[in-house]
Amino acid sequence: MRESFTQEEKEALINDGAVIFELQEETISSQIEAQKAKSKPLFGYMVDAGEMLTAKPSRRIQVAVYPDPDKFFVPNSFDKSVTKQEERVAQDAQDLRQRLNLSQVTEIIPGEAATLTEIVFKHWDATDELLFGKKYATAQGLDLVYGRTKNPTNSSGSDVALVGDADPARGLDVDGWARDGGNHALWAVRLVVPIENR
C-alpha cells in the first residue's frame, strides 16, 4: 500500500462524504497516555490480551472513513466471519472504485485494533463526535455496534479484536470475538486506503 492518497483521490473521496486521517503508528498504550493528558475518557472496557493488543501499532498511512452513520459500515457485513466480511469489503471496494473512477484505492479490515481506535480518537478530537456512538447503533436498528479487526486477542489467533460501543462518558470498548464467528452488532467499517500503482 502507498502511504498517501493522491490529490485526485482525496478530492473524490471528500466530495463523496469521506474524511481523511493520517495515522501515526500509535499503539493503544500511547493512545491511553494521550487521552489521559487531554483529561478525556479512555476505554470503558478492554479485553485482556496483553501486548498483542496494546503494543501493536496502527499503520503509518492515510485512511478515509465515512462518518455518516448510514455510510460508515460496509452494507450487509454483520453476522459474518472474518473471511465472509472480507468478501463483502472487497465487493464494496470494487463498487467504490467504479463509482468514483478511482483505480488505486481499496478497503480493508485492519490487522490492528489501534488503527480503528486511533481513527476514533482523531475524529473525536476534531469534531467532538464519537464514531461507533449511539447514532451509529441507531442507524442499524441496534443498541450498540462494533467494527471488526484482525488483531488477535488470544495466542491461537482464533479470537480477534473488535472496537466500538463508544460513549462520551466512558470512552470506547475493545473486546474479542471468534474470527470464524459473526454477530448482528459486529460490522466491517468502510475503511478506504491507497494501494500501489499497478
pLDDT in tens, 12-58: 999 999 999 999 999 999 999 998 898 888 899 999 999 999 999 99
Nearest Cα to Cα of residue 6 among 102, 112, 77, 107: 102
Phi/psi for 169 (5° steps) reads -85, -25
Cell output for 167: 460513549
- pLDDT of 163 over the 90 cut: yes
Provide the H-helix boundaries in the chain: 7-15, 28-37, 51-54, 82-100, 113-127, 134-139
Distance, CA of 91 to chain centre = 17
Question: What grid cell was written down for 170?
Answer: 466512558
Distance CA 136, CA 16 (A): 19
Give the domain ranges of the chain.
7-194
Average of pLDDT values for 86-100? 98
* pTM for this predicted structure: 0.96
Mean pLDDT of the 3-17 span: 97
Each residue of 170-195: pLDDT tens digit? 999 999 999 999 999 999 999 999 99
What average pLDDT does the structure give for the chain?
96
- Count Cβ atoms below 10 Å from residue 58 Cβ, excluding itself: 25
- Asked if 172 contacts 132 with a C-beta cutoff of 8 angstroms, the reply is yes
Instruction: Tell me the average pLDDT across 52-77.
Output: 97
pLDDT band at 198 (very low <50, low <70, confident <90, very high): low
Confidence of residue 77 (pLDDT cuts 50, 70, 90): very high
- Whole-number pLDDT of residue 38: 87
Pick the closest to residue 190 from 52, 114, 97, 128 (CA basis): 97
